[in-house]
Chain A
Amino acid sequence: MKIGLFIPCYMNELYPEASMATLKILENLGLDVEYPTEQTCCGQPMANTGCAHEADELARRFLKIFKDYDYVVAPSGSCVAMVRNNYAQFLDGEEGFEHLKTHTYEIVEFLHDVIKPKSMNAKFPYKVGIHNSCHGHREIGMASMSERNLPEFSKVKSMLSLVEGIEFVTLKRKDECCGFGGTFCVSEDAMSAAMGLDRVNDHVNAGAQIVTGVDMSCLMHMQGVIDREKLPIKTMHIAEILAGDL
Chain B
Amino acid sequence: MGHPEAAEKFIANDERMHWHDKALWFVREKRDLAAHGIPEWEELRRVAKQIKTHVMSKLDVYLEEFEENAKEKGIHVHWAKDAKEHNEIVLKLLLNRGAKKLVKSKSMLTEECHLNPYLEENGIDVVDTDLGERIVQLREEAPSHIVLPAIHLKKEDVGTTFEHFLKTEKGNSDPTYLTRSARVHLRKKFLNADASLTGVNFGIAETGGIVVCTNEGNADLGASLAKLHIASMGIEKIIPKIKDLAVFTRLLSRSATGQPITSYTSHFHAPVEGGEMHIIIVDNGRSKILGSQDFKQSLNCIRCGACLNTCPIYRRSGGHSYGYTIPGPIGSTLGPSKDLSANKTLPFACTLCASCSNVCPIKIDLHHQLYKYRQHVVNAGLLATKKHTILKVAAWVMKHPSLLDFGGKIARKIVPIMPRSILYSSANIWGKKRELPKFPKNSFKELYKQHKEGKK
Contact = CB atoms under 8 A, between A and B. Distances in A.
Genuine A/B complex: yes
Interface of A: 7, 9, 11-17, 19-20, 23, 35, 37-41, 43, 45-52, 54-55, 57-58, 61, 86, 134-135, 138-139, 145-150, 173, 175-177, 179-198, 220-221, 223-225, 227-228
A173 B24 CA distance: 13
B264 interface: no
Interface of B: 3-4, 7-8, 11-12, 17-18, 21, 25, 32, 35-36, 38-39, 41-42, 310, 312-313, 316-317, 347-355, 357-359, 371, 373-379, 383, 387-388, 391-392, 394-395, 397-399, 401, 404, 408, 411-412, 429-430, 432-437, 439-440, 442-449, 451
Contact of A14 (B38, B378, B440, B448): B440
Contacts of A192: 351
B4 A149 contact: no
B447 A181 contact: no
Chain B CB within 10 A, most for which of A11, A19, A146: A146
A186 B371 CA distance: 17
A58 B3 CA distance: 30
A194 B371 contact: no
Contact of A134 (B8, B317, B351): B351
Given A15-B444, A149-B38, A188-B7, A39 B401 contact: yes
Nearest to A5: B448
Given A147-B358, A184-B348, A223-B437, A58 B8 contact: no
Nearest to A181: B351
Contacts of B352: 48, 134-135, 181-182
Nearest to B317: A191
A176 B395 CA distance: 30
Chain B CB within 10 A, most for which of A19, A180, A185, A187: A187
B451 A195 contact: no
Contact of B313 (A11, A51, A188): A188
Q: Which 7 A-B pairs have the closest CB atoms?
A: A181-B351, A224-B434, A50-B374, A193-B433, A54-B395, A227-B435, A177-B353
A243 B353 CA distance: 28
A16 B11 CA distance: 35
Nearest to B5: A190
A228 to B, nearest CB: 5
A194 B429 contact: no
Contact of B312 (A43, A145, A186, A195): A195
A135 to B, nearest CB: 7
B286 to A, nearest CB: 24
B42 A194 contact: no
Nearest to A173: B25
Given A54-B392, A190-B7, A224 B437 contact: yes
20 contacts: A13-B408, A16-B443, A23-B448, A35-B444, A41-B394, A45-B391, A48-B374, A49-B348, A49-B383, A50-B376, A51-B395, A138-B353, A149-B36, A149-B41, A177-B351, A179-B351, A188-B313, A189-B4, A190-B433, A220-B437
A38 to B, nearest CB: 5
A46 B347 CA distance: 15
A71 to B, nearest CB: 18
Interface of A is mostly: helix
Contact of B447 (A9, A16, A50, A86): A16
A46 B447 contact: no
A50 B377 contact: yes
A86 B368 CA distance: 10
A191 B313 contact: yes
B430 A15 contact: no
B4 A191 contact: yes
A13 B443 contact: yes
Given A12-B444, A179-B351, A224-B435, A46 B316 contact: no
A47 B398 CA distance: 14
Nearest to B9: A190
Contacts of B17: 194
Contacts of A146: 32
A11 B445 CA distance: 10
Contacts of A228: 433-435
B42 A190 contact: no
A40 B434 contact: no
Nearest to B14: A194
A245 B36 CA distance: 40
Nearest to A41: B398
B351 A61 contact: no
Contacts of A191: 4, 7-8, 11, 313, 316-317
Given A139-B354, A149-B38, 17 more contacts: A13-B408, A15-B440, A20-B447, A49-B378, A49-B387, A50-B379, A50-B383, A51-B388, A57-B399, A147-B310, A148-B358, A149-B42, A183-B391, A189-B432, A194-B11, A198-B18, A228-B433
B440 to A, nearest CB: 5
Contacts of A135: 352, 354
B214 to A, nearest CB: 26
Contacts of A51: 375, 378, 383, 388, 391-392, 395
A23 B445 CA distance: 12
Nearest to B44: A149
Nearest to A16: B444
Contacts of B440: 14-17
Nearest to B36: A149
Nearest to B306: A147
Contacts of A225: 433-434
Contacts of B447: 16, 19-20
Nearest to B43: A149
B310 A188 contact: no
A181 B316 CA distance: 15
